[in-house]
């Protein structure tokens, strides 16, 4: 600063120097709004380095990055380490922890369970420490004959509440016994697409057809009654009331159609169902009077999954970020439950920012970038590199 004016030339030069020193490759003149999510993250790192920080905490830094951007982040972190910086890297993705760390500390329920050198670690060892038992990382997909089409999207476009186009010209189908996974960094239009399918948002063009019925302008309740079950990406915003107890949360959305008759609510049936669902889906503790908000993330999610999968009519199941915020043991359980629905011949749409989840569950994978479906791959042809290219808006040769 010179007098009352900013010395922008010196600031620009200093930004360039720090950027080049750590391999951040940031243009000082670029507008933040024009940068990719990966580049915006580099700017955040640069801001910290500019202040002279020697200890950097990366908290789930890859959640909104493509596979290629993750590799670039690793290089930047290597440069930081080479310059003598110390990094605390927090992640629930075990492969990332193995790829980037020197030592690993496992925290369970707020306590430091164990610490060991990364050279002595395996996915199995870390997972065992995280949940206290052996965990399966892949779930065997049942062999199911693909049946008739359940859901068809034809050139669907969706705007957000501000009139900004969030989904553009999306087309795909899902059939009985088939799992379609949607991959993409968060904010690529997946949320708005699911909101349109479930009646929470209007489409501005195109057709959505569920079992030969057009969904346009149908209410969420009517769409649910047509046979759609919805596990929302944000269970607290869309699926549960934290202050209500477990039994009451099992009733949400079903209170008029499954637990009421002639204006009378059947508490006895709800209570019996709630106890049965807690046992069947291994929700702990087994107390239907426990407040939903007092349960762990994994047990909260199991309640939402149980409620949606146990509906009398659920030909199409939409699972948005189905394992977000749950431990690796609950992930294993939820994946099995989703694949059980496939085995029953249900059509399933899984939306996830976790590539490993999409690859583990899907028969077909649709990739979204900036509101567009940039490609649809058969699972046998898909890998992280191909999906990463499509996630960044590129094209496959």
HEC-encoded secondary structure of the chain = CECCECCHHHHHHHHHHHHHHCCCCCCCCCCHHHCCHHHHHHHHHHHHHHCCCCEEEEECCCCCCCHHHHHHHHHHHHHHHHCCCEEEEECCCHHHHHHHCCEEEEEECCEEEEEEEHHHCCHHHHHHHHHCCCCCCCCCCCCCCCCCEEEEEEEEEEECCCCCEEEEEEEEEEECCCEEEEECCCCCCHHHHHHHHCCCCCCCEEEEEECCEECCCCCHHHHHHCCEEEECCCHHHHCCCCCCEHHHHHHCCCCCCCCEECCEECHHHHHHHHHHHHHHCCCCCCCCCCEHHHCCHHHHHHHHHHHHHCCCCCCEEEEECCCCCCCHHHHHHHHHHHHHHHHCCCEEEEECCCHHHHHHHCCEEEEEECCEEEEEEEHHHCCHHHHHHHHCCCCCC
Question: Given this model, what pLDDT does residue 372 score?
Answer: 96
Question: Given this model, what pLDDT does residue 49 score?
Answer: 85
Q: What's the pTM? A: 0.83
Chunk the chain into consecutive blocks of 10 residues (it has 397) and report each block's average pLDDT, rounded to whole numbers: 70 86 85 82 87 89 81 89 92 89 89 92 89 79 94 97 94 98 91 96 96 94 95 92 96 91 91 95 93 91 94 93 84 93 97 92 96 96 93 88
Which candidate, 389, 387, 331, 395, places its Cα nearest to that of 361? 331
Name the pairing type of β-strands 149-159 and 103-108. unpaired
Question: Given this model, what pLDDT does residue 39 score?
Answer: 84
**CB 341: neighbour CB atoms within 10 A?**
21
Question: Given this model, what pLDDT does residue 267 score?
Answer: 93
Residue 210: cis peptide before it, omega within 30 degrees of 0: no
Backbone phi, psi, residue 88, to 5°: -105, 120
Number of residues in the chain: 397
Residue pLDDT, tens place only, 116-168: 999 999 988 998 888 788 777 778 889 999 999 999 999 999 998 889 999 99
Give the span between the Cα atoms of 346 and 314, in whole angstroms.
8
How would you classify residue 203: left for phi > 0, otherwise alpha for psi between -120 and 50, otherwise beta? beta
Domains annotated on the chain, with CATH: 8-101 (3.40.50.300), 149-391 (3.40.50.300)
């Amino acid at each position: 600063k010179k007098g009352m004016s900013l010395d922008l030339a010196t600031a620009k030069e200093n930004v360039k120097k720090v950027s080049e020193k750590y391999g951040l490759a940031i243009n000082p003149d670029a507008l933040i709004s024009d940068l990719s999510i990966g580049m915006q993250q580099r700017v955040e790192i640069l801001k910290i380095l500019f202040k002279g920080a020697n200890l950097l905490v990366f908290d789930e830094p890859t959640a909104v990055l493509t596979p290629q951007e993750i590799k670039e982040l690793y290089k930047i972190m290597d440069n930081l380490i080479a310059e003598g910086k110390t990094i605390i890297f927090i992640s629930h993705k075990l492969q990332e922890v193995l790829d980037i760390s020197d030592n690993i500390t496992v925290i369970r329920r707020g306590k430091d369970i164990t610490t060991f050198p990364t050279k002595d670690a395996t996915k199995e060892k870390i997972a065992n420490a995280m949940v206290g038992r052996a965990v399966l990382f892949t779930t065997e997909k049942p062999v199911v004959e693909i049946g008739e089409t359940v859901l068809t999207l034809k050139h669907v476009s969706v705007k957000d509440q501000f009139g900004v186009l969030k989904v553009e010209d999306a087309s795909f189908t899902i059939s009985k016994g088939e799992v379609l996974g949607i991959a993409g960094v968060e904010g690529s239009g997946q949320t708005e697409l699911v909101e349109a399918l479930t009646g929470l948002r209007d489409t501005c063009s195109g057709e959505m057809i569920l079992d030969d019925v057009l969904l346009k302008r149908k209410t969420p309740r009517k769409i649910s009654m047509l046979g759609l079950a919805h596990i929302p990406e944000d269970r607290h915003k869309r699926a549960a009331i934290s202050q209500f107890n477990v039994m009451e949360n099992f009733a949400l959305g079903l209170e008029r159609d499954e637990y009421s008759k002639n204006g009378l609510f059947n508490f006895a049936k709800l209570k019996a169902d709630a106890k049965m669902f807690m046992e069947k889906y291994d929700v702990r503790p087994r107390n239907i009077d426990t407040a939903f908000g007092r349960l762990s993330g994994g047990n909260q999610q199991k309640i939402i999954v149980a409620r949606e999968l146990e509906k009398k009519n659920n030909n199409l199941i939409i699972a948005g970020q189905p394992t977000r915020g749950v431990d690796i043991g609950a992930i294993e359980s939820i994946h099995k439950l989703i694949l059980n629905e496939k085995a029953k011949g249900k059509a399933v749409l899984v939306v996830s920012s976790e590539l490993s989840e999409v690859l583990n569950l899907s028969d077909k994978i649709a990739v979204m970038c900036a509101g567009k479906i940039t490609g649809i791959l058969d699972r046998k042809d898909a890998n992280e590199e191909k999906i990463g290219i499509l996630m960044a808006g590129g094209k496959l040769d």
